[in-house]
Each structure stands twice: as C-alpha cells, then as structure tokens.
C-alpha cells in the first residue's frame, strides 16, 4: 500500500513540476472558446461516500430553465473542483450544468471498482438534489486522466440503462488512465449515436497514449462523429506552452490557463456541444474537422506568428514506446491489456513483474520531445580547410528534427531518432551504432546532422548499461531492441527497402550482427543496403557461416585511422576479408592519414568521428566521413554513378581527395585498398588482436607480419 500511496501522489504532482501557473487573457472574444453570456453559480452538497468532500454543481445562475448536463470525471487527487475551476466555469457560462463528484485517491489506486462506486454515488446524489436544473435529454461526459478512463463504463450506464441523452450525448476524454468495469463486448456495443473527442497531450509522460488509442479504436462511434486530437507544445515564444498531463487543470491544479486551454480544449468542447445538441454544421467542421485548417488553428502570438497547431483526425497513432510513460499499457493493473492485442503484439506477461519505479524516476520533460536542431554546424577547430559547400559532404536541403525516448527494454540509455523535416516520401534509414564510451548522439552530432540533411532518417540506439561487467550479448540485444522499437515509431515514414549501418568502435564491431538481423532475417534493404564501419572493436554474436552467407549486394566501406592506438586494425582487416560474399567491386578499405600545415597537426585518431560541441569538426569529418557516407548512400540507395566513384572508387582520384590547404597543397590523401595489411605491431594497441576477448582470433589469421626495421624507420620519421 505504501508504494501505491507514493504513486498516487506522483500521478498528480509530477506533471505540475514544470508548470508556471499564470493566466493569459482569453484571446477569443466571440464564438467557440469565448466566455458565454451567463453568470456562473456554484452549489454543493456533502458527498455520500467520500468523507469530508462535496459534490459540486457549476451552472448558469438563472433558475427559470433546465440546462444540458456535463458529468465531469476528475483526475486522481483533484476532488476539489478548484483544480478545474476555469474549465468548469467556462462550460457553465455557455449554458451547461457541470456536475462534479469526488472520489478518494487512495481508494482509486487500491480498488478502482470502489472509486467508480464513489463516482456513481456522487452523480446520483447530485441528480437527486438538482434534478429540476438538469436536462436529462442532453448530456455530456468529460473526463481527465483517471476520470477519463472511467468515462466509457459510467457513461454507458447513464446512456443505456438510465436512458439519458435522447436528444444528444457526447464524450470528451483527455489523457485517460486505465479503463475498468467495461468488457470488450460492452465497448463494442456502445451506442453509435454518441459523439466523441479523444485528446492526448504531446508531452504527457504520465499516462500511456495507448489507453486513449484503445478506447478510440474500439468504441463503435462512426468516424464522422469522433476525432482523435493531439495537443502540441510550443516553445517558440515566451511564456512557452507545455502540453503536459495536467494541461486541462487551472491555477489550483498547478497549471497555466493559456492558448492550450482556450483553443485546444474550450473551443473544441464548445463546438462539440453545439453540434451534439443543436446539429450545427459549422460546429461539426470544427469538432470533427479531421485536421482541417479550422480545427488545427491555435491562435497567434503577439507578433502574428501562428501558435503550433494541434493535430486531429481519425487515425489514433502512438509515437512513443511504453517505457516513456509512468503508467504504461502492458502494466498488470491494466485490465484491457489482457484482452486487447491490437498493437500487433501478444501480451508480454513478463511486464507483470516489472517495477514501475524506474519509470517514475526517469519522468522529466524532454523524453520523446521533438524539436528542430540547427543545420550542420561547421567548425574548423583552427584547421585552415573550409567545409564542403556543394556535392557530397556538404549540408543537404533538409533541416533536422530530433526525438528521443527511454529504452524499451532495460537499458539505461535512450533511443534517439533524427528525421528530415518536410520530406514528402518514406525515407531511407541509417542505423548509427555508437562507440562504447559515447552513448549520446551529441558526440556525433555533426556527422548525424549531415546524414539527415540529405533526406535520411538516423536511428541512434543506445546500449548503455551502468554495469561494466554485463556481457556483450546483452549489449547487442539492447541495441537491436532499441532499433526495432525505433522502426515501430517511424512506421510508414521509413523506407525499409533502403537501409544503411554506420558503426564506430564497439558499434563498428556490432554492425555485422545488427545488419544480419535486418538484411538477412527480415529481408529488408532489397533496394539498397550498406555498411560503413569505423575503427571497429571485436566482433561478437556473428558466426563464420554468417560471413559466408551475407547478402552479396551489400556495399561496404571499412575505415581506420593512422593515429588510432585503441583498436587494432586487424579487426577491420578481418571484417574486410571475411565478408566473402561481398565482391571487391562493392567494398573498399580506407585509411585516413595524419598531416600538418604550418605547425597545425591534423591527427587521424580513434576519436576522429566524434564532433561533440562542434569544435572537433575538421577536414577529416568533411572528406573522410561526411563525403564518403553521403556518396555511399547515394550510390547504394539510388544508383548514383558519381557517388560510386567517390565512395567505392577503388582508390580513384575522386575517392582519395581530402581537400587542400590554403596554399593549394593537397591534404594527405586517403589510402584505399582491396588488400589491407596492418603495418603496426599488436603491442601498440590497447585492444589488440591477440587478447582473449577476441572470439575471432582463431577464425582469421592476419596477413601482416611485424617488421622491426620498418617500425624503427617509421618512428624516426
């Protein structure tokens, strides 16, 4: 019970941590969303089953008429209607009676059926007390969070058993929690005459959006009479608009009253009411506009810029994995998880044993956040070589959009998604597997931004674990699970017939196993697949027969750095020769060399692919990474002949070119070969070929032999 008591407190409070509690004047002065003509009165009676609480009625102060009634289902811990005062008073000002009963938050967490009974008793008491003020032929049910999950079951009782709503009935459900006391059969037989708006909030990390999708998809209300709304945050102006779990609440609930309320809730609710009770066609176009311009509109900032528009339609989609939410779909407390498998997966009963405290600890703004990042930031780190301004290696036409979410399994890192903004077709996808010490995309941001700017999605699946002793098999499983979840999030925006794999260091050694899963087992990449492997570490979970059965049309570049003393080049050499099915015309081995200019040293080292902070971006990034990756993708995905000459030129002048210094002297060219031999002795490397960690030391015999005389000459140079 102590655990659930903590959960109950968190459920309402976490989403308020970041609220700034201000009231913005309502910019809507007429029509839907504007305050109505009636003065509002508030009545109350003691709640029959919740000690010390009351049942409240917000209504127009006029007593000479009856009013359509809205049954309001509050979120957990909000028994005091002050938490939703602004919303309730708005509805009453427009001629509605809002009935607001309480339920106990402790009982709600321990025994939901008892909380539902408290709501029933409160509604019954209110109807009995104020029956002469309520029009039972016109009724609505509005619920948020825990209350939103209760709407289907309790509204069904009033509509079907008590025959309320003969002249109109609607549901307005916001960010619902789990739904109890309604079977699949009952939901399937829900009255089709009802109208509905289902609304979720972009940065709600409390309640899994799958609960909203479940109700929306399975309630048999016609598409023409329901819409699924996503209310989005907007941080482009001050004060920012944060569409979090507590958005519908007001100042007493720790939230601000702003554009999100006026346009994103009040305006929609007014239109829903007018259409449901009066059949107004203009109201229908707003409430059920399916994302039309009128429905999307969220007002303008003081400078005339549009507030970020909402999204609406008949397609209830989920864009974040369950691990982002405190209350996730497959939790044992969700009764519908046992009967609904519409997400394409059989119930994973292992989740029943999964503690949710980790989810609570990790909840914070930013998870799953989508925002525009800067175009590729070119920083030359003091190097007098300019970035590439056109062709392969230059910044592409697309801006970069970033999403991140918590790992779907039990990794301690996140999964990051980078997508091109405004692309109008499914885009190829590149999996970026990071080095062991660099589990965040910030370390590779320059490289990633350049790739995405060309029109490709990039998936960056962290495999970070706090434990250093966990086996490599676990880390491989984490990166693969993260990639699979990311593809689910991308959905049909991903062109899985075109797929690439870029891996650095530990991630480079993991490329074969991850690529095998997608190319061989899932048979993706039929229109193009490549591997770009940088300074690879040891290879695990990949058997000799897999090398000899790898898809032969795959393109491959393996790149090492002259100054790298971490990972023995023999690991890269092994990969190049062991992929026997990939013909030499479709693969090259690339060596990036050191150079210097006017006492400025250009060091090709193990960390060369990193671009943290931008200052580490130099000529190696422009020519040996961005340029080759762009060309390799263009040739692989679209058959670009110039791309082939640059990426797989077999040592052609175009391929090895690394730009020029200010005096016209060429930067040290790349070495490209089909016969790589590691010239350095193993003892130079921290992770050398002969270590016991290397499972392939008995599978491949390196070609090079240590030449002491050569080594001495090289050191003297």
Instruction: Give kind and range of the element (H or E) at residue 42.
Output: strand 40-46
Which distant-in-sequence residues (6+ apart) come within 8 Å of 232 by Cβ? Answer: 202, 243, 308, 309, 310, 311
| pLDDT interval class at 470 (50, 70, 90) | low
Mind spelling out the 3-state secondary structure of 498-564? EEEEEEECHHHHHHHHHHHHHHHHCCCCCCCEEEEEECCCCCCCCCHHHHCCCCCCCEEEEEEECCC
How far is residue 523's CA from residue 279's CA, in Å, rounded to a whole number?
52
Q: The dihedral of CA 627, 632, 635, 638: what is its sign? A: negative
Tens digits of per-residue pLDDT, 198-255? 999 998 888 999 999 999 999 999 999 999 999 999 988 888 898 989 899 887 666 7
Q: What is the pLDDT of residue 229?
A: 96
Give the position of tokens 């943290």.
612
Give the position of tokens 């009351």.
54
Which residues face 673 on adjacent strands? 589
Q: What is the pLDDT of residue 471?
A: 74
Helix (H) and strand (E) counts for the chain? 22, 21
| pLDDT interval class at 275 (50, 70, 90) | very high
| pLDDT interval class at 322 (50, 70, 90) | confident
Average pLDDT of the residues in 279-291: 94
| CATH fold match for the domains 2-321 and 372-716 | yes
Selected residue with higher pLDDT from 293 and 250: 293
251's tokens: 């100042």
Helix (H, G, I), strand (E, B) or coil at 427: strand
Selected residue with higher pLDDT from 504 and 347: 504
The arrangement of secondary structure in 2-321, i.e. its CATH architecture, is 3-Layer(aba) Sandwich (3.40)
Please state which CATH class domain 372-716 belongs to: alpha beta
Q: The dihedral of CA 631, 634, 639, 640: what is its sign? A: negative
Complete DSSP assignment for 77-132: T--SGGGGHHHHHHHHHTT-EEEE----HHHHHH-HHHHHHHHHHHHHHHHHHSGG
Q: What is the pLDDT of residue 375?
A: 36
**pTM of the predicted structure, to 2 decimals:** 0.54
Does residue 493 surpass a pLDDT of 80? Answer: yes
User: Which of 83-97, 254-268, 610-624 comes out lowest in average pLDDT?
Assistant: 610-624
137's tokens: 């032929």
How far is residue 331's CA from residue 327's CA, in Å, rounded to a whole number?
7
% the chain with pLDDT above 70: 86
Q: What is the pLDDT of residue 364?
A: 32
Selected residue with higher pLDDT from 413 and 475: 475
292's tokens: 């039309």
CA 565 to each of CA 441, 609, 681: distance values in angstroms, whole numbers, following the listed order? 23, 15, 11
Give the position of tokens 């048999």.
220
How far is residue 381's CA from residue 523's CA, in Å, rounded to a whole number?
42
Q: Which of 647, 627, 639 is nearest to 557 (CA)?
A: 647
Looking from the CA of 41 toward its CB, the CA atoms found within 13 Å total 8
| pLDDT interval class at 600 (50, 70, 90) | confident
Give the position of tokens 């008590």.
162
- Contact between 528 and 546 under an 8 Å Cβ cutoff? The reply is no
Q: What is the pLDDT of residue 358?
A: 38
- Contact between 198 and 173 under an 8 Å Cβ cutoff? The reply is yes
Q: What is the pLDDT of residue 407?
A: 78
Q: Which of 660, 435, 400, 697 is nearest to 570 (CA)?
A: 697
* Domain layout of the chain by residue ranges: 2-321, 372-716
Does residue 466 surpass a pLDDT of 50? Answer: yes
CB atoms within 10 A of CB 280: 16
How far is residue 138's CA from residue 157's CA, in Å, rounded to a whole number?
15
């Amino acid at each position: 019970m102590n655990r659930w008591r903590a959960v109950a407190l968190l459920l309402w409070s976490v989403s308020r941590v970041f609220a700034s509690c201000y009231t913005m004047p309502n910019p809507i002065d007429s029509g839907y969303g504007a305050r109505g003509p009636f003065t509002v009165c508030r009545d109350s009676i003691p709640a029959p089953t919740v000690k010390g609480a009351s049942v409240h009625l917000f209504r127009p102060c006029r007593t000479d008429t009856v009013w359509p009634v809205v049954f309001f289902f509050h979120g957990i811990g909000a028994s005091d209607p002050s938490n939703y005062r602004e919303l309730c008073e708005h509805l009453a000002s427009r001629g509605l009676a809002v009935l607001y009963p309480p339920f106990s938050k402790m009982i709600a967490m321990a025994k939901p059926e008892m909380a539902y009974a408290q709501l029933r008793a409160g509604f019954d008491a209110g109807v009995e007390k104020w029956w002469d003020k309520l029009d039972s032929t016109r009724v609505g049910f509005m619920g948020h969070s825990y209350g939103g999950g209760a709407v289907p079951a309790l509204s069904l009782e009033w509509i079907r058993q008590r025959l309320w709503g003969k002249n109109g009935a609607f549901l307005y459900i916001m960010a619902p929690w789990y739904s109890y006391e309604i079977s699949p059969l009952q939901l399937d037989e829900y009255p089709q005459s009802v109208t509905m708006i289902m609304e979720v909030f972009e940065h709600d990390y409390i309640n899994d959006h799958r609960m909203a999708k479940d109700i929306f998809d399975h309630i048999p209300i016609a598409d023409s009479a329901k819409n699924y709304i996503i209310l989005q945050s907007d941080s482009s102006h001050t004060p920012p608009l944060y569409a979090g779990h507590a958005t519908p609440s007001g100042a007493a609930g720790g939230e601000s009253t702003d554009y999100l309320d006026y346009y994103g809730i009040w305006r929609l609710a007014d239109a829903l009411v007018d259409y449901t009770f009066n059949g107004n066609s203009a109201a229908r176009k707003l409430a059920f506009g399916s994302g039309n311009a009128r429905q999307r509109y969220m007002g303008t900032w003081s400078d005339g810029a549009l507030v970020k528009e909402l999204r609406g339609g008949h397609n209830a989609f989920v864009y974040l994995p369950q691990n982002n939410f405190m209350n996730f779909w497959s939790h044992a407390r969700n009764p519908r998880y046992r009967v609904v498998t519409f997400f394409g997966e059989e119930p994973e009963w292992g989740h029943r044993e999964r503690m949710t405290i980790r989810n609570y600890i990790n909840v914070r703004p930013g998870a799953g956040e989508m925002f525009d990042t800067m175009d590729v930031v070119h920083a030359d780190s003091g190097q007098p070589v300019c970035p590439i301004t056109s062709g392969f290696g230059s910044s592409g036409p697309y801006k970069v959009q970033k999403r991140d979410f918590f790992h779907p399994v039990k990794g301690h890192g996140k999964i990051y998604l980078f997508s091109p903004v405004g692309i109008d077709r499914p885009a190829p996808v590149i999996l970026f597997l990071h080095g062991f010490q660099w589990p965040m995309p910030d370390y590779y941001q320059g490289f990633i931004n350049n790739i995405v700017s060309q029109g490709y999605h990039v998936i960056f699946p962290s495999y970070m674990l706090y434990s250093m002793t966990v086996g490599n098999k676990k880390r491989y499983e984490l990166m693969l699970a993260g990639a699979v979840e990311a593809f689910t999030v991308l959905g049909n925006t991903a062109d899985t017939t075109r797929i690439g794999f870029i891996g650095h260091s530990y991630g480079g050694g993991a490329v074969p196993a991850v690529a095998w899963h997608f190319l061989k087992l899932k048979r993706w990449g039929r229109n193009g697949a490549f591997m770009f492997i940088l300074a690879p570490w040891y290879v695990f979970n990949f058997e000799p027969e897999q090398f000899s059965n790898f898809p032969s049309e795959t393109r491959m570049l393996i790149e090492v750095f002259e100054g790298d003393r971490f990972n023995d080049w023999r690991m890269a050499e092994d990969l190049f020769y062991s992929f026997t099915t990939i013909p030499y015309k479709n693969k090259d081995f690339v060596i990036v060399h050191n150079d210097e200019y006017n006492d400025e040293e250009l060091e090709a080292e193990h960390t060369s692919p990193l671009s943290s902070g931008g200052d580490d971006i130099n000529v190696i990034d422009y020519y040996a990474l961005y340029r080759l990756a762009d060309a390799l993708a263009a040739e692989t995905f679209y058959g670009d002949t110039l791309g082939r000459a640059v990426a797989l030129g077999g040592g052609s002048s175009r391929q090895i070119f690394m730009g020029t210094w200010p005096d016209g002297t060429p930067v040290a060219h790349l070495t490209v070969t089909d016969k790589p031999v590691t010239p350095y002795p193993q003892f130079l490397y921290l992770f050398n070929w002969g270590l016991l960690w290397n499972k392939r030391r008995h599978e491949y015999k390196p070609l090079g032999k240590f030449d002491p005389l050569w080594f001495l000459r090289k050191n003297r140079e």
